[in-house]
Homo-oligomer: A and B are copies of this chain.
Amino acid sequence: MIAKTPRPPYYAVIFSTLRTDTDEGYEETARQMEELAKRQEGYLGIESARNQMGITVSYWESLESISKWKNNIEHTVAREKGRLLWYKKYQLRICKVDRDYGFEV
């Protein structure tokens, strides 16, 4: 779903991925990481879509909250497994959201 974020400024982590053919625990870990992210201080929301590639964008109150999430131990273990098993390639981009616009029917 589209995340309900507050007024800018806030921060976004864009995680763009190409998967390997290995599924081993992937779905479960992805779900766990989403649940874990939601419990972090400064978490604002998450959006995720996948077909040939995956894009997950998580939204955060501050760079400090992103840094704490990055260093979370369970997240670190999952990231290691991601590099070993699930991802052929990924790019992670840390951004400051300065403006946003919404449309709804």
Contacts and interface: CB of A to CB of B under 8 A. Distances in A.
Give the dominant DSSP class at A's interface: strand
A102 B41 CA distance: 25
Q: Which 4 A-B pairs have the closest CB atoms?
A: A95-B95, A49-B49, A55-B55, A93-B100
Nearest to A101: B92
Contacts of A65: none
A44 B52 CA distance: 20
A51 B53 contact: no
Contacts of A50: 49, 51
Nearest to A59: B93
A69 to B, nearest CB: 14
B18 A2 contact: yes
